[in-house]
Amino acid sequence: MKQINWFEKLIGSGFYTGYVPIASGTFGSLVAIVIYIIPGFERLEIIIPAIILLFSYGLFVSSKFEKVYGKDPSQCTVDEVVGTWIALIALPKSFLIVFTTFLIWRLLDIIKPFPARTSEKLPGGFGIMIDDVISGFYTVVIVHLFVYVFGVH
């Protein structure tokens, strides 16, 4: 069995939220929100590279988690962090919008609208990561419609 070192565990489990016995994905998303509320993190020149970097590393580390814990393990929450950040791209940074985005994102991550559910069946880290990316994109589109088209703030 392959071992996961402390750094891989730290990042792959979303700062150990993957080891919370219930709702580890929700806790992983909350860690993403805590990082997001750091002043300036929402700037596109910060959040986009952070997403790309964490997604790329997430492909590697989530594959390792899968080899140790089994298919799409709850211990791996790096995918939730990436999906949450995608859901927040280019949105106003207010409590109401961040909270609403979080709720919609968690709902879509659980429901897994097409093609998210199908894509999670892909092998290894790609299958683990891509369904959350898809749900994150659905969320950002929905919230952008509410904020920028319908003027809900």
Q: What is the pLDDT of residues 109-128, one digit of tens each?
A: 999 999 999 998 898 999 99
Asked whether the beta carbons of 135 and 113 are under 8 A apart, the reply is yes
The 10s digit of each residue's pLDDT in 27-50 is 999 999 999 999 999 999 999 999
Q: Examine the pLDDT at 143 and tell me if it is beyond 60.
A: yes
Helical spans, DSSP H, in 37-123? 44-69, 78-87, 95-111, 116-119
Q: Domain coordinates of the chain in residue numbers? A: 6-149
- E strand or H helix at 131: helix 124-144
Q: What pTM, to 2 d.p., does this model score?
A: 0.95
pLDDT score, position 99: 97
Q: Examine the pLDDT at 151 and tell me if it is beyond 90.
A: no
Q: Examine the pLDDT at 2 and tell me if it is beyond 90.
A: no
Q: Examine the pLDDT at 1 and tell me if it is beyond 60.
A: no
Cα distances (Å, whole numbers) of residue 127 to 82, 116, 124: 14, 9, 6
> pLDDT-derived band of residue 53, with 50, 70 and 90 as boundaries?
very high
pLDDT score, position 85: 98
Q: Examine the pLDDT at 131 and tell me if it is beyond 60.
A: yes
Residue range 94-115: mean pLDDT, rounded:
96
> pLDDT-derived band of residue 152, with 50, 70 and 90 as boundaries?
confident
With CA atoms as reference, report the closest residue to 84 among 14, 145, 18, 21: 14
| Residue positions counted in the chain | 153
